[in-house]
Amino acid sequence: MTGPVHTLVSASDVCTVLAREVPDAGSVLRAQLDELCVQAAAEIRHRVPAVDARLTAGSLSAVRVRGIACDMVIAALENVELGFRSTGESYPELGTTQVAAANRMLVEMTDSQRAALMPPDPLAGADGRGGMFFVPLS
């Protein structure tokens, strides 16, 4: 079996969406960004059937895949920058809330992102709720 055919997302793609300069090759920031892109592509390939085959056949838009992969990487970058912990204070009474780090993946794919990349259901009608049905006449 051959490896993946398509590069689903690159550091350049993510930086374009964020309107930022691409970090220098060999820098720590570039290595982090490249790794998050690899993880996002792996998650897409794991959760969405036949991504590469559908891209090759033209039945799945490379722009759509790239956009969703960029969203996944940007969310991961926000998790890294903001952290998985949540700390808050409220006034006038002093109250502090601390939430422990979540046990979750760094690069995640939401259900709506997955649904956007899934093949269309051949049994679904135009409204997406159902297709043909049988009504007995007797």
Q: Domain limits of the chain?
A: 11-117
β-bridge mates for residue 97, sequence order = 88
Contact 47, 109 (CB under 8 A): yes
**According to DSSP H, which parts of the chain are helical?**
11-18, 28-47, 51-57, 62-82, 111-117
Cα–Cα separations (whole angstroms), residue 15 to 22, 47, 73? 6, 25, 10
3-state class of 86 per DSSP?
A: strand
Give the predicted TM-score (pTM) of the model. 0.74
> What is the rounded distance in angstroms from the CA atom of residue 10 to the CA atom of residue 66?
9
Would you give per-residue pLDDT tens digits along the chain (138 residues)?
Answer: 455 678 999 999 999 999 999 999 999 999 999 999 999 999 999 999 899 999 999 999 999 999 999 999 999 998 887 765 555 666 666 666 655 445 567 888 999 999 999 987 766 655 555 555 556 676
